Structure 1
């Protein structure tokens, strides 16, 4: 029996990409990543805890302020009312890490790369989705926190952010650093590919490094190199950006707000660049 190779070849046309097809748009990829975020229970739990904790702390600060008698400084009261943002940073930063590491733990990263083979596009879409989500959560948290301070303190007006540009700027700066910290957690998740590892490193950056440097400052009796490290430590940069009068724990002179923001951007950029390099070169 013979096989007609000519007819067999003719019956199977080679695969060709239709140039008229639009392909997957960036907006479509970002909507897909938002859907993935909303599908995770962890997203809702961490977001609700951040909102609830931020509102509770703002209310507690307002009650304490009223009980012990404040000095009538609206800016100081509003700034104290945003203390919950520090906890929101670790919660939403953890969400940023989990948003990526969960793809590896479930094996969904292979499906994601099949649908979006351009890895850089996938990473940017994930980052944008996280930015939108964390910005929304932070906005709700700060609105409820401001309302709690207004209701329980009796010292801050509801329209204070629109009457005092310093309060509005402080709120905007606080919200921005929460979003940036979320992106730093995302970069750590991309680079380390481990939820536990990324969250531990994020916790070290946010809470442990400052304590170690403060101890070193006392032990070395204010050595210049420790002062330099204190100024560029993440939380000190955050304080310099949000509140120029805060300083680095009262031990060294604070940087200018623009210098604080630049330092924060560098802290956020480093793990994201390392994560992008790792993600674009390593196997899924």
Structure 2
């Protein structure tokens, strides 16, 4: 339902009265917080000139008036802004380091060349997509498609996407659980609706911990093909953007190599040897993920499985 306030905000945006709209945003945020200010913030981030839109994150309006990385409507306000302007335009305008970092990584996801004029990432996450990231990830689906007046579109989260290439598989006995690993904890933190387990054994050994029954429709796929679904699962609420999902997955990969920060050569070698097993379940409907990732070098495998309701922004 479109309220009077919604119409008022859209009228200001249509008339490009951005300074007035920014004032309304700041007053709403100071008085009520993120939710009340969000519609005005989306309109500003999407439509205002970058010099004014970037002021959403500027504290010059007073206490409680500035957006941060948690402010969102159909998606994070910083992500909306990053889809609208290049890093070259935004870099001189953005002050808060967390927002700068996420905008920078969003521009990388959108294919901008950031080899010059961009600060290095604090955790070593590369600002250029790796070949295995690009191989299975359509550029048009890496970041939500935002709409001018509010809302967003996003590719459907489904892994496996269908049963093509899969076949009947008899799962072995469940592998022996391995507890206390950082990679398991980080994977579980990516999406609260996912069950995550680590075992000593193969991908099917791990899958047997979570898949119902001993027989599934499943098969293997390259990690690059599974990776987009993992990033999407890690950024599956309007408060979280694709850049945060990608950073979270690189943290997981770094932890699988035994490191706290990203060593690009170690992660590249890990991805090259990973074996991924995916399966479907009878209860799958629209939004689900079933995947086991096996590292033959360590003898460890992680399985994750779950489904989530359709989010409000789709």
User: Relative CO higher for 1 or 2, CA cutoff 8 Å, sep ≥ 6?
Assistant: 1
Q: Answer 1 or 2: which has greater strand percent.
A: 2
Structure with a larger share of its residues in helix: 1
TM-score, with length taken from structure 2: 0.25
Task: Work out which of the two has the higher radius of gyration on C-alpha atoms and give 1 or 2.
Answer: 1
